[in-house]
Amino acid sequence: MSEVRRREDEEETIEGIEVHHRQVLVNGVSLHIVEAGAGPLVVLLHGFPENWNAWRRQIPFLVKSGFRVVTPDLRGYNRSDKPLGVSAYRLDILSTDISKLIFALGEKTATLVGHDWGGVIAWSVAFTYPEQITQLVVINAPHPERYIELLWRTRQFFKSWYVFFFQWPWLPEKIIGWNRFNRVRNVLMKDTLLPNTFDSEHIEAYISALSMPGALTAAINYYRAGFLYGFSLIRRMPRVNDCPTLILWGEKDRYLDIRLLDGLNTKVPHLWVERYPDATHWLIAEHPDRVNHAILKFLENTNE
């Protein structure tokens, strides 16, 4: 039985490409998705504090290159359901969302592309449901096991200060939400190397989505659940990811140590890494054309 549940179909045009909005019921939650194109399925997973809009510059390019593109609002974000409780955002549950989404879309396999939290989830899906993932692209998101290896004994500990801050109840929500999310606005405006990487329209769209009831707590609960449950879940994951994997990495990332890339070839046998010395954590927004062409080249070269 199909798990697709339509609420209200909507359409819009992005760079001449018609995209469709709808709701999909998977794993007990309704996920808002945006889809376009026809061909092999590519699923794009966003990070914090964004939503599907993070991929606006990738969707038209990939569709024109012959792919079916689907980008969901992850659970807790924007127009997707926002279940209560920290445990609803465990990494295994987030990964199952994406596994079931692929099947709900009528496909058995997909390419996953993930940034930030979306990248962490993409790693986890590739480990846990390897038969479903044909190719994996991770953009400034740590390999989960490598992250644990570095967290307690390198500068990654200090770069992860916000993860520890997010463990407090209610206080992070108060501070982040203060003055109409001005801290989020400042990060997106000032945390990049290129001016106007995020235009005011998209920043306000992200803030509007975070302002929805329960949305900010849901987004922070990713970090709370990661800290409470993630270490034991990651240690139980399979140790090797066999599918072709491309890592794109902005080297000026304030949040992730470049040494997270060291030694990954022992964990990921079929690995390609592209580093961008002139980019930050927000690589897909800073250099969308370079990212697009890197993804396409990888997909073409590793297509079975």
Active site residues: 116, 223, 281
Q: What is the C-alpha to C-alpha distance for residues 220 and 193, in angstroms, rounded to an integer?
A: 26
Q: What is the C-alpha to C-alpha distance for residues 5 and 31, in angstroms, rounded to an integer?
A: 10
**Cα angle at 236 between 234 and 242, to 5 degrees?**
80
Q: What is the C-alpha to C-alpha distance for residues 263 and 146, in angstroms, rounded to an integer?
A: 9
Enclosing H/E stretch for 192: none
| Helix 200-210 and helix 171-190, axial crossing angle in degrees, nearest 10 | 170
Q: In a 10 Å sphere around its CB, with 0-12 CB exposed, 13-18 middle and 19+ buried, how is residue 227 labelled?
A: middle
Q: What is the C-alpha to C-alpha distance for residues 269 and 240, in angstroms, rounded to an integer?
A: 8
Q: Specify the residue for token string 């469709």.
A: 20
Q: In what order do the strands lie in the sheet with 17-26?
A: 10-14, 17-26, 29-36, 68-72, 41-45, 110-115, 133-139, 245-250, 271-276
Q: Specify the residue for token string 């760079």.
A: 15
Q: What is the C-alpha to C-alpha distance for residues 145 and 267, in angstroms, rounded to an integer?
A: 9
